[in-house]
Structure 1
Amino acid sequence: MSGTGPVLLMVDDRPSTFTRYAARTLPEHLVLLRFEELRADLSEDHLRRTAHLPAFWVRAAEPLEREAERYLAWAAAELPVAPERFCNPSEPQQALAQRFAALAGLPHLTEQQVAWVRDKAVMKRRFRELGLRTAAFARVREAAAITAFAAEHGWPLVLKPVDSFACVDTHRLDGPESLSSLDLTARDWMVEQFLGGTEWEVCAVVHRGEVLDAWPSAMPCRPLDIVNGAMNANISVGTDEAPPVDLRALLQTVVTGMDIDHGYAHMEFFLVDGELYAGEIGLRLAGCEIPANHGHAYGFDVFGATLDVYRGLAPKLSYRQRRCAGDLLLPLPGSGTVRRITPAEELLRVPGVVDAVLKVGVGDTVSARRASHNASGYVHVVGASIEEVERRMRDVLGAFVIDLTPAIDPAPVIDLAPVIDPAPAREGAR
């Protein structure tokens, strides 16, 4: 990654490894864009870590057009060089962030592109227009529509908000009895056919409309199983165990069909009896610690390459190794106060563990959520194969202990689900 070049305006709506990396490596070429209504999601520790960077706060009560005008005046008066490029690493802020970038005259996704990468029903229609196979799907507003869909496609089904992420409010419906407690009035919902086979993920960086490379990930357990307690892990596959698919060509079809110029793309797909079904795509960094997995698997600076494409620069993808590397999210079994937790130093002694980060410590009050990124911390595990990495991950789970005193009253708690940035006092060796 180059320390010279254009200044980047980057959305900062939650602490993340990517933001920490950017703040550390581009201190003179980075400006943060924050939204007042999301202030509670930015920890005091994160604000201290990024205090050396200029940051513009978008006020919640003001029209976005006025805030964009205020930003432009602020940038002209307060910054040595105004940002010329834009990066939004956040899935839930995609529509708001891209609209702000457009008003500020920065490179951005159009409203149509935002719909393609954010609204899952619109996304799947676009996949089909591009010649890709998808599961059957339909928007639904009432239980009767789900029953009608099931009559045609059978049970089980998957029900989700069209703008959900991390499996929040996503459920598997196994039969008509699953419909009795549903409330479909508050959000825009869709239902889709449940696919068997094997679910995979693939990430890529895009520069000037070209997919430069694609990095597949295996998932020991499906996201819908993860939110119900299964092992929460992703494994970057830098070996010949990668799926028998031209992944770069697959992503290029989508990138060209959605007229995407640059960015980090994260896609999920299924292989069912040898047939590929497109799942979903996001034009932002993958969740959890998946990007870091690719760096460990291929031996290159994945965050630097990502920053380069958002700054309009061509990254150097020079790989030093090929192996499997995964992130295992450590369990957060409920809400309450942490009584005991295995130290990061002990987890680092498990064979294959190259990084261990705890997000909580003894005495912290925590709140668990039903989300695929719910965790008390994470480890990075490397190995020669998918099987070896998964076995070592299970060894970590066998060594890891977290005990909670259950919450008794509704006092405010620390909601850890969206927090990715680890507190420095609890980080393991890097």
Structure 2
Amino acid sequence: MSEDGPALLMVDDRASTFTRYAARALAGRLVLLRFAELRRDLSDDHLRHTAHLPAFWVREGVPLEEEARRYTAWAEAALPVPPSRFCNPSEPRQAVAQRFAALAGLPHLTEQQVTWARDKAAMKDLFRELGLRTASYARVGAAADVERFAAVHGWPLVLKPVDSFACVDTFRLTGPSSLSGIDFGSRDWMVEEHLGGTEWEVCGLVHDGEVLDAWPSAMPCRPLDIVDGAMNANISVGTDEAPPVDLRALLQTVATGMRLDHGYLHMEFFLVDGRLHAGEIGVRLAGCEITANHGHAYGFDVFGATLDVYRGRRPSLRYGERRCAGDLLLPLPGSGTVRRITPREELLRIPGVVDAVLKVAVGDAVAARRASHNASGYVHVTGTSIGEVEQCMRSVLDAFTIDVVPAAAQRTGAATNGEPTQ
């Protein structure tokens, strides 16, 4: 991936490995698009590390048409090379970001494509039109709707907002009592049958309508178990342990059905008694550090290849050593102030760990939430098999300690007996 060529306008609503990579690789060819109402999500540290890049702030409460016109005038007057390409790595910003790109005359997802990518019921409608098997599902607006669905499909069920991500406000329902406290008036909801079998993920790059390759990931624990405390990890499988499915053909079916020209795809699917059930798909980079896992597992510059497709170029996927590589998200057990955390240097000494990043430090105020990306940091682990990587991850969890003093305990001076919260 070279530094010349078209400039890229990229949505920046949170610090990420991809953003940091792009900031280094595309200096002079990268412009950041930020939304003023999300300023609180951008740390001062992130703003310092991207201060060398031009950034356009979309003002809060101003019509998007006006902001797009202001952006176009600004880009033509202030930038040596105005962006001609667009990238949105943010799932929750899809609708507003793609509409802004359209108003600014940049490549973008259409309103229909955004609906397929964000509305999970419409997404599954499309999957079925394309001949893919899915879990049974229905839109619901009240507890009675869920109970009627359960009368046909049984319990347990999965309830989620149609536009949720990272398992936010997603619940496993074991019976009518699980519906207590759900505010059906706050969101558009859907319910679906709970599938057994094995849950997998797959990512791929699309250029000129063609899926160039597909990279599977194993999931030691399911996302719904993760938000309830299970190990939070993904393992890219560059070995022959990959699932017995033509994953490139699967992604091509969806990309063609969604009429996608280019981009990064991240899809979840289930194998139940050897039969594939399509789960959900995102038309953006995968969450957590899944994308980086693929670079470690296949020995290539995955972020550079991703930038290439968003800049309209066909990347050269030249792989090196094949192995398994995963990201393990380190626990963030509660909200309060960090009193103690295992140093990065200790984590790097654990066999199999190739990188470690701590997002919090002693003295930091932290806020945990029920989401699959809730974490105090992460490590990257490599190995010759899924099992070897998972074993190393469990060794990391055994060695890792974080002690968070709850705000209530701080106010009252309550003792914690020196026990870490893990």
Shorter-normalised TM-score: what interval? Answer: over 0.9
**Closer, same or farther: CA 180–86 of 1 in aligned 2, 3 Å:** same
State the Cα distance separating 1:407 from its structure 2 match.
1.4
State the SS of the aligned residue for 2:40: helix
CA distance in 2, matches of 1:87, 1:366: 30
CA distance in 2, matches of 1:410, 1:71: 46
- Give the equivalent residue in structure 2 for 1:299: 299
Are residues 1:243 and 2:243 paired?
yes
State the SS of the aligned residue for 1:408: helix
Superposed, which structure 2 residues align to 1:308-327 within 5 Å? 308-327=308-327
- Give the equivalent residue in structure 1 for 2:95: 95
CA distance in 2, matches of 1:39, 1:220: 34
Deviates more, 1:336-345 or 1:247-256: 336-345
CA distance in 1, matches of 2:403, 2:9: 41
Are residues 1:148 and 2:148 paired?
yes
CA distance in 1, matches of 2:180, 2:252: 42
Letter in 1 for 2:213: D
CA distance in 2, matches of 1:380, 1:223: 19
Are residues 1:278 and 2:278 paired?
yes
CA distance in 1, matches of 2:230, 2:120: 25
- Give the equivalent residue in structure 2 for 1:121: 121
Mark the runs of 5 or more structure 2 residues left unpaired by the alignment: 412-422
State the Cα distance separating 1:409 from its structure 2 match.
8.0
State the SS of the aligned residue for 2:131: coil
State the Cα distance separating 1:337 from its structure 2 match.
1.1
State the Cα distance separating 1:297 from its structure 2 match.
0.3
Letter in 1 for 2:274: G
- Give the equivalent residue in structure 2 for 1:353: 353
Calculate the aligned-residue CA RMSD, in Å: 1.0
Letter in 2 for 1:207: H
**Closer, same or farther: CA 143–410 of 1 in aligned 2, 3 Å:** farther
CA distance in 1, matches of 2:123, 2:53: 36
- Give the equivalent residue in structure 1 for 2:38: 38
CA distance in 1, matches of 2:171, 2:104: 38
Are residues 1:171 and 2:171 paired?
yes
CA distance in 2, matches of 1:117, 1:357: 30
TM-score by length of 2: 0.96
- Give the equivalent residue in structure 2 for 1:340: 340
- Give the equivalent residue in structure 1 for 2:419: none
Letter in 1 for 2:262: H
- Give the equivalent residue in structure 2 for 1:19: 19
State the Cα distance separating 1:193 from its structure 2 match.
0.5
CA distance in 2, matches of 1:60, 1:406: 33
CA distance in 1, matches of 2:369, 2:110: 32
CA distance in 2, matches of 1:338, 1:206: 42
CA distance in 2, matches of 1:177, 1:187: 20
- Give the equivalent residue in structure 1 for 2:376: 376
- Give the equivalent residue in structure 2 for 1:422: none
Deviation string 1:260-293 (CA, Å, 9 cap, x unpaired) is 0000000000000000000000000000000000
State the Cα distance separating 1:363 from its structure 2 match.
1.0
Superposed, which structure 2 residues align to 1:259-274 within 5 Å? 259-274=259-274
Deviation string 1:2-51 (CA, Å, 9 cap, x unpaired) is 21110000000111110000001100110000001101101111111111
- Give the equivalent residue in structure 2 for 1:65: 65
CA distance in 2, matches of 1:199, 1:46: 34
State the SS of the aligned residue for 1:396: helix
State the Cα distance separating 1:338 from its structure 2 match.
1.0
Letter in 2 for 1:296: H
State the Cα distance separating 1:410 from its structure 2 match.
11
TM-score by length of 1: 0.95
- Give the equivalent residue in structure 1 for 2:258: 258
- Give the equivalent residue in structure 2 for 1:180: 180
- Give the equivalent residue in structure 1 for 2:217: 217
CA distance in 2, matches of 1:78, 1:226: 46
State the Cα distance separating 1:180 from its structure 2 match.
2.2
Sequence identity of aligned pairs in percent? 79
